[in-house]
Amino acid sequence: MKIAIIGSGSVGCLYGARLARGGHDVRFLMRRDLEAVRRNGLTIKSCDGDFHLRPAVFGKSEEIGPVDLVLCALKATAMDVAEQLVRPCVGPHTRIVALMNGLGIEEQFAGWFGPERIFGGLAFVCINRGEPGVVHHLAYGRVAIGHLAGNHEQSREIARLFADAGFETSVPPSLRQARWEKLMWNIPFSTLCITAGAVTTREVMGDPGLRMLAERLIVETGTAGNADGCEIDIPATLAKMMANTATMGAYRPSMLVDYQNRLPLEVEAILGEPVRRANALGVPVPVMETQYRLTAFLDLLNRGEVRGEK
Amino acid sequence: MKIAIIGSGSVGCLYGARLARGGHDVRFLMRRDLEAVRRNGLTIKSCDGDFHLRPAVFGKSEEIGPVDLVLCALKATAMDVAEQLVRPCVGPHTRIVALMNGLGIEEQFAGWFGPERIFGGLAFVCINRGEPGVVHHLAYGRVAIGHLAGNHEQSREIARLFADAGFETSVPPSLRQARWEKLMWNIPFSTLCITAGAVTTREVMGDPGLRMLAERLIVETGTAGNADGCEIDIPATLAKMMANTATMGAYRPSMLVDYQNRLPLEVEAILGEPVRRANALGVPVPVMETQYRLTAFLDLLNRGEVRGEK
């Protein structure tokens, strides 16, 4: 199958590289690592076993052209250029998987390309970029795939691609619920790692006050999700999230890595849109809203977009 | 009148120096600035006019001995040593003014010295310490005095001392309400300046999201205060706090100054105790509680009491 990876950060590289190793014709749209990968190839240092490949990399989507499947792994902060980066790869039968964080992403793709071809992808993976051309895959890797219009048969087809590449996969009954459940991790842990002074999940889990905030954020998020039509078992998910995170050690969520690299944070996808949905549904999310406003400001301050003094 | 200043930070120095200039026998207990003031005296660079004096300074309370009035201007983080620092200055008729931040301070003094002699003092003043022996008095200076047991005549006597030293004074109908009203400024602005990344009031006022959090914190604080028996006009106080803060420019609240100097923050007096009272009264204060947990952690991280990674 001919596959375009649009957005070759760590997530795009890991999944694309494993699909390429499985024999698919995978074409990567790259920006930061383009020259390094052309020169030295792509190295995946992975908990599943390291490997190296020399993939087909491109600097422009037009050079890739129409494909069978677009895997869009852009950061949510790049949604303003997503349409123009994806469109050259879309032919009449192209399917598009948005392997991205946040709420409302698939709906935006549907607006550009029609809902029938749009899938949401959720990557449950601990992963960081290394030096150019190197990705560090630390743990997990499960992918959940959901069709925007709820066609599970089509979702299972896409999921099979990932399963054949060696990943655990699932097709959740509800894509919307899967998105909210993923936010039940991202909202507490990605954002407390920022507002608590740029620390890892270990410090958040190790401080009783921050743990309590994490638990409140998980409950607020699940409550908003259920008001948004989901049927999340909040106590069970809370227990699972806390237990899983306790095993992660000093993990740096991608939002923290971005912060430390002074890159824009996925604030609107991970916090802004959930807060707006909760407000529209009349669900109070005061801790989430506090995290939203603080994180949004810290993002600007960190990148010199507002003046501060230290 | 013989007056002991226990805790000669910027607040103790300003009020003590002005009382000394007015002719009182003022004796300062000093730690950080003791040698500098012995050598060079005390300089008040003040919006009301600079002045310099050579005050009576001491390194131990025992050297001061019993006085008519103790002005305790310790930081709330020093409450664990307040009794031992104050006791040598207390004779049978000594009155004690706790010129300190936070809730529950006077009650602790009453436990040590009996309630009849205990007054709360609230300083509405923009002030920072400079180099040793120098205090920068930037704006305001009003003092509110309340007797713990509600004896307004006694409060007015104490207030007159400050009025004679050139300060605007007041005797609020309720000391408790005055404390909560002061927290309606300290809780939003002192603590957002920390959690928003160590910025001044100008940045907090300049960002719409942070302003909104400030407003929510003011309302939460006022609501908790009213549940605690006060009769605060919350909308009027909200409007006044926001308008006053807008005139302050790039003001660094003392909590921010302490943070930047890696000193312990008054977290429990300004956030912990109000949160506990609100919880005991069944008043939801989720934004305040978030600020409490984040500020408490940032304080530890900032002083190397917990490990982080930057």
pLDDT in tens, B24-51: 999 999 999 999 999 999 999 999 999 9
* CATH code: domain of residue B92: 3.40.50.720
Reduced to 3 states (helix: H, G, I; strand: E, B; else coil), residue A95 is strand
Q: Pick the last residue of a domain from A172, A187, A206.
A: A172
Contact B307 A260 (CB under 8 A): no
Q: Give yes or no for B216 touching A (CB within 8 A).
A: yes
A220: nearest CA partner in chain B? B286
Alpha-carbon Rg of chain A, whole angstroms? Answer: 19
pLDDT of residue A220: 98
Residues of B in contact with A260 (CB under 8 A): 310
| Exposure string over A100-128, b if 16+ CB within 10 A, otherwise e | bbbbbbbeebbeebeeebbbbbbbbbbbb
The alpha carbon of residue A271 is apart from the nearest alpha carbon of chain B, in Å, by 13
Q: How many CA atoms lie within 13 A of B143 on its CB side?
A: 29
Among residues B72, B76, B73, the alpha carbon closest in space to that of B270 is found at B76
Among residues A24, A25, A38, A30, the alpha carbon closest in space to that of A9 is found at A30
Q: Is residue A309 part of a domain?
A: no
Instruction: Encode pLDDT of B77-91 as tens digits.
Output: 999 999 999 999 999
Residues of A in contact with B261 (CB under 8 A): none
- Most B CBs within 10 A among A252, A293, A300, hence the mutation to make, goes to A293
Beta strands in chain B (DSSP E): 2-6, 25-29, 42-46, 51-53, 56-58, 67-72, 90-99, 118-129, 134-147, 169-170
8 Å CB contact between A162 and A134: no
- DSSP structure string for B41-58: -EEEEETT--EEE--EEE
Please tell me the distance from the alpha carbon of residue B3 to that of residue B92, in angstroms, as a whole number.
15
Chain Cα centroid distance, residue A191: 14
Q: Pick the last residue of a domain from B151, B172, B193.
A: B172
Of the candidates A198, A294, A300, the beta carbon closest to that of B195 is on A294
Note down pLDDT in tens along chain A; length 310 residues.
999 999 999 999 999 999 999 999 999 999 999 999 999 999 999 999 999 999 999 999 999 999 999 999 999 999 999 999 999 999 999 999 999 998 989 999 999 999 999 999 999 998 888 899 999 999 999 999 999 999 999 999 999 999 999 999 999 999 999 999 999 999 999 999 999 999 999 999 999 999 999 999 999 999 999 999 999 999 999 999 999 999 989 999 989 999 999 999 999 999 999 999 999 999 999 999 999 999 999 999 999 998 776 4
Please tell me the distance from the alpha carbon of residue B22 to that of residue B87, in angstroms, as a whole number.
26
pLDDT for residue B309 is more than 70: no
Q: Is residue A145 part of a domain?
A: yes
pLDDT of residue B130: 87
Of the candidates A195, A213, A297, the beta carbon closest to that of B210 is on A297
Among residues B144, B76, B69, the alpha carbon closest in space to that of B108 is found at B76
Same domain, B205 and B296: yes
Contact A294 B203 (CB under 8 A): no
Same domain, B203 and B143: no
Q: Is residue B162 part of a domain?
A: yes
Q: Is residue A107 part of a domain?
A: yes
The amino acid that residue B4 corresponds to is: A
Please tell me the distance from the alpha carbon of residue B20 to that of residue B18, in angstroms, as a whole number.
5
pLDDT of residue B102: 84
- Residue A263 has φ and ψ, to the nearest 5°, of -95, 160
Same domain, A139 and A235: no
Please tell me the distance from the alpha carbon of residue A18 to that of residue A5, in angstroms, as a whole number.
12
8 Å CB contact between A258 and A295: no
Same domain, B202 and B145: no
Dihedral (CA of B49, B52, B58, B62) sign = negative
Among residues A301, A289, A103, the alpha carbon closest in space to that of A213 is found at A289
Residue owning tokens 């109000």: B274
Same domain, B183 and B121: no
pLDDT of residue A309: 60
Reduced to 3 states (helix: H, G, I; strand: E, B; else coil), residue B99 is strand
Among residues B267, B274, B273, B271, the alpha carbon closest in space to that of B301 is found at B267
pLDDT of residue B129: 87
- Helix and strand numbers (H, E) in chain A are 15, 10
Same domain, A35 and A157: yes
Q: Is residue B148 part of a domain?
A: yes
Please tell me the distance from the alpha carbon of residue B47 to that of residue B69, in angstroms, as a whole number.
27
The set of catalytic residues of A is 182
Q: Is residue A239 part of a domain?
A: yes
User: Domain of A230?
Assistant: 177-302
Q: Pick the last residue of a domain from A154, A172, A190.
A: A172
Residues of A in contact with B308 (CB under 8 A): 197-199, 203
Same domain, B192 and B93: no
Reduced to 3 states (helix: H, G, I; strand: E, B; else coil), residue B150 is coil
Among residues A155, A125, A151, A171, the alpha carbon closest in space to that of A11 is found at A125
Please tell me the distance from the alpha carbon of residue B81 to that of residue B108, in angstroms, as a whole number.
12
In this structure, what token pair is assigned to residue B310?
């930057």
Instruction: Encode pLDDT of B241-276 as tens digits.
Output: 999 999 989 999 989 999 999 999 999 999 999 999
B 60-99 near A (Cβ less than 8 A)? none
A 98-157 near B (Cβ less than 8 A)? none
Same domain, B112 and B140: yes
Q: Is B240 a catalytic residue?
A: no
8 Å CB contact between A132 and A106: no
Same domain, A229 and A264: yes
Please tell me the distance from the alpha carbon of residue A10 to that of residue A16, in angstroms, as a whole number.
10
* CATH code: domain of residue B182: 1.10.1040.10
Beta strands in chain A (DSSP E): 2-6, 25-29, 42-46, 51-53, 56-58, 67-72, 90-99, 118-129, 134-147, 169-170
Q: Give yes or no for B213 touching A (CB within 8 A).
A: yes
The alpha carbon of residue B302 is apart from the nearest alpha carbon of chain A, in Å, by 9
The alpha carbon of residue A210 is apart from the nearest alpha carbon of chain B, in Å, by 6
Count of the separate structural domains present in chain A? 2
- DSSP structure string for A143-209: EEEEETT--HHHHHHHHHHHHHTT--EE--S-HHHHHHHHHHHIIIIIHHHHHTTS--HHHHHHSHH
Same domain, B18 and B139: yes
Chain Cα centroid distance, residue A37: 22
Angle at A251 between CA A249 and CA A253, to 5 degrees: 150
Same domain, B115 and B224: no
pLDDT of residue B307: 79
Q: Is residue B310 part of a domain?
A: no
Q: Is residue B309 part of a domain?
A: no
Same domain, B167 and B181: no
To the nearest 10°, report the CA torsion of A286, A287, A292, A295. 150
Reduced to 3 states (helix: H, G, I; strand: E, B; else coil), residue B61 is helix
Please tell me the distance from the alpha carbon of residue B140 to that of residue B47, in angstroms, as a whole number.
8
8 Å CB contact between A212 and A238: no
Residues of B in contact with A289 (CB under 8 A): 213, 287
ipTM: 0.89
8 Å CB contact between A245 and A185: yes
